[in-house]
Amino acid sequence: MTSLFALASLVATLAVGRAAVALAWREPLQAPGSATLAWGAAYPVGVLVVCAWLRALAAAGIAWSTVLALVPVVVAIGVLAWQWRKGDMHPLLVAARTVAGDGLARAARVAWLALLGWLALRFAFVLTEVLARPPLPWEAWLDTAARGSVWHALRAPVDFVPPAQWDGDRYLAALTQGHSLLPLLDVFTALVVGRFDDTVVHAPWPMFWLSQVLLVYGAMRAAGAGALAALAGATLVGTLPLANAHAALGGTAALPLATYLLAAAIFTGRAASTRALPDALLAFAAIVGMVWASRAGALWLPLLLPIVAAGVRPAQALRVVGGVVAAAAIGASALARLDPFARATTPAPAPGMGALAEQAFLLGSWHLLGYAAIALAILAWRHWRAPTLVGLSGAVGVGLAVLAVFATSSAGRATIGPAGVVGHAATAFAPLLALWIAQVAWTWVRDTLAVATAEDGATAMVAPRTDVAAATSTRESPVAEVPPMRDDRAPL
CA separation for the pair 84, 244 (Å, rounded): 34
pLDDT for 343? 66
CA separation for the pair 188, 52 (Å, rounded): 11
Residue 424 contacts residue 416 (beta carbons within 8 Å) = yes
Burial class of residue 312, CB neighbours in 10 A (0-12, 13-18, 19+): middle
Q: Which residues contact 91 (CB under 8 A, 6 or more apart)?
A: 29, 35
Tens place of pLDDT per residue across the chain (492 aa) = 889 999 999 999 999 999 999 998 876 667 788 889 999 999 999 999 999 999 999 999 999 999 999 999 999 999 988 887 766 546 667 677 778 777 788 899 999 999 999 999 999 999 999 998 888 777 888 888 889 999 999 999 998 887 777 777 778 877 777 788 999 999 999 999 999 998 899 999 999 999 999 999 999 999 999 999 999 999 999 988 878 888 888 888 999 999 999 999 999 999 998 888 999 999 999 999 999 999 889 999 999 999 999 988 888 888 999 999 999 999 988 988 887 777 666 666 777 788 888 877 877 666 788 888 999 999 998 889 888 899 999 999 999 999 888 888 887 777 776 667 788 888 899 999 999 999 999 999 998 888 887 777 777 666 554 444 444 444 444 444 444 444 443 334
CB atoms within 10 A of CB 17: 27
**CA–CA distances in Å: residue 169 to residues 148, 159, 160, 165:** 19, 11, 10, 11
pLDDT for 488? 41
Backbone angles phi, psi at 298, to 5 degrees: -65, -30
Q: Which residues contact 312 (CB under 8 A, 6 or more apart)?
A: 272
Residue 131 contacts residue 193 (beta carbons within 8 Å) = no
pLDDT for 442? 93
**CA–CA distances in Å: residue 365 to residues 120, 257, 353, 362, 445:** 21, 18, 17, 9, 26
